Amino acid sequence: MGQAQRLRYLISLSLVWIFSATATASEPDIHLVEYQAFRPNLDFGLNDGPDTATFTAIQSLREWKTLWSQIEPRMAREMSQQGPHAFPSIDFTRNTLLVAALGSKPTGGYAVAIHSVVEYPTSITVNVIAQSPAKDCVLTMAETHPIVLVLIPRMPKPIEFSTTHAVHTCG
């Protein structure tokens, strides 16, 4: 092998090494997004959701007021409370409110939770677990409206919801 060939060979090996080192050192394409539970006030409960199933990302005051008008009337009230609960503010220039609500359910034993929020190169996926009771469960016969609210940083990507259904086994 001539000196020119050896030089090309060494340069090629160096480039392969540089590209492989860069590829392993770069950040992954998928990231978990940190989120925090959002409880509008102390009277808000996990069964204060709207009548219809709702899986959405709220990014404006108008959308938040619309949802609030559906959940506020369900919230517990103190005997001395004269009017509706105060409207909780959210800074939508910095945050997005994720809402997962199962709608009206005929009994207790239903629940909803956000398992994770994952950022992909072109979108964000909210992984939700919707739980229903097994047939042998002893349940309250009151209608329920399971809901969970979380805040994430505002991001300029489309947000999708992926729901996994689970059955809660009792006793």
Structural domain contains residue 36: yes
Q: What is the pLDDT of residues 84-110, one digit of tens each?
A: 999 999 999 999 999 999 999 999 999
CB atoms within 10 A of CB 75: 16
User: What's the mean per-residue pLDDT of the chain?
Assistant: 88
Q: What is the pLDDT of residues 19-47, one digit of tens each?
A: 555 555 566 789 999 999 999 998 898 89
Number of domains within the chain: 1
Structural domain contains residue 156: yes
Structural domain contains residue 113: yes
Residues 110 and 49 sit within 8 Å (Cβ to Cβ): no
The confidence score (pLDDT) of residue 137 equals 87
pTM score, two decimals?
0.81
Give the C-alpha separation, 89 to 78, whole Å: 22
The residue range of the domain holding 109 is 31-75+87-168
Structural domain contains residue 127: yes
Phi, psi for residue 25 in degrees, rounded to 5: -85, -15
Structural domain contains residue 5: no
